Amino acid sequence: MPAFKLRAILFDIGNVLVRVDIARATAGLAADTTLSPQEIWTALQHDPRWRDWQEGRISPREWHSHVTLRLGGKLHFEEFCAAWNRALSPEPVLADDLLAELSRRHYRLCVLSNTDPIHVAHMESNFSFLRHFPHRVYSCTARVSKPDPAIYKEGLGKCGIAAKEALYVDDIPAYVEAAQGLGMDGIVFSSAEQFQAALRARGVVPTIP
């Protein structure tokens, strides 16, 4: 339990705020290729330009051209984007009332996510919970990704706080450990119920149904 006044909570997005189902996206991308959805995902994970894509060094249209050429796909750009965004479930993980309550209690809320421009545009247009987050750090605009300390420092800077005043929440333990290495408190997220229990243990917020 932190021995300092908590002023900000920084959240990962994928599987913390938004459910991610990679299979939904890869099924769409595989539809016009000879590859299986799993082969598509393996190829993407090992793509030499994946980090450039996540860190904003190539544009959405360049990524579309690169991926379709590499995988033998024929999807037009708009179809590609639609398939890509199917990975993001429209149903939020955390209750809107919980985020509203955290904001009402004057915690500075920030999203800190490894993500790409196609997903960012989709989320900004379709996910209303982002209104609770005045501070947003995306790897594709920060030009750096987790677990690099620089992206966490950008989040802290946007919130205007010291590391010891921040709580970082992510479903990937290594990314939480990186935040803790900078002096932040950290929660490895597994469920909404577990997260609320962790908040209560810190005296942050009561249970929200």
Q: What is the pLDDT of residues 171-208, one digit of tens each?
A: 999 999 999 999 999 999 999 999 999 999 999 976 66
Q: What is the pLDDT of residue 3?
A: 52
pLDDT of 209 reads: 57
Consecutive H or E run containing 118? helix 117-126
Mean pLDDT rounded to a whole number for the chain:
95
Cα angle 102, 2, 206; round to 5: 35
Domains located in the chain, CATH noted = 8-19+92-201 (3.40.50.1000), 22-86 (1.10.150)
The arithmetic mean of pLDDT across residues 118-136, rounded, is: 98
Question: Cα separation of 100 and 96, whole Å?
Answer: 6
* Residue 4 DSSP label: S
37: left (phi over 0), alpha (psi -120 to 50) or beta: alpha
Q: What are phi and psi of 3, to 5 degrees?
A: -100, 35
Tell me, what's the pLDDT at 1? 45
Q: For 142-180, how does the pLDDT look when each residue is reduced to its tens digit (9 = 90+)?
A: 999 999 999 999 999 999 999 999 999 999 999 999 999
Using alpha carbons, list the distances in angstroms from residue 155 to 37, 190, 193, 200, 209: 34, 22, 25, 24, 29
According to DSSP, residue 165 is labeled G
